[in-house]
Amino acid sequence: MTDGIVVGVSGWFTPHGVRYHEDIRSVAEIVPADWSALLAHADEIGFFERPEQGPAGPSDRIFHLAITAGGRSRKLSINDPFETPGLAHLIRLTRRAVNDRKVLTQQTLGDEAFAALLAAQVAGPGV
């Protein structure tokens, strides 16, 4: 993967089994300030060198986090409840980067979707 993040969440049960959800964002799709904050905090808590946690408890959610940045890459399973406040903050920063916003450019949308967006803008509100 190019620079970016992948975050998956698993571990809550439904009548149909364990549920899993995953979001993927390249660095081009993340607001630059969010990406910088996420990387700074990951470095601060030693994310790229951190050992794997022990097994999750039966009622724990598990965040499956992968960060790739500047030639460094790390995949880590993080149990919730969190081992440290630093891990909890890392997950908050990650969720903000993937859920709150997605940067839309011609490159991230593709030509057809970008053309449709421009056409809607030209047509004006209510169209």
Residues 65, 5: contact at Cβ < 8 Å? Answer: yes
The answer to whether the predicted template modeling score (pTM) of the entire model surpasses 0.75 is no
Predicted pLDDT of residue 3: 92
Mean pLDDT, residues 74-85 taken together: 92
Domains and CATH numbers, the chain: 4-123 (3.30.1560)
Question: Around 37, how many Cα atoms within 13 Å sit in the side-chain half-sphere?
Answer: 15
Comparison of pLDDT for 9 and 89, the residue scoring more: 89
Predicted pLDDT of residue 29: 85
47, containing H or E segment = none
Mean pLDDT, residues 95-113 taken together: 74
Mean pLDDT, residues 84-89 taken together: 95
Q: Return the residue matching tokens 């951190």.
A: 50
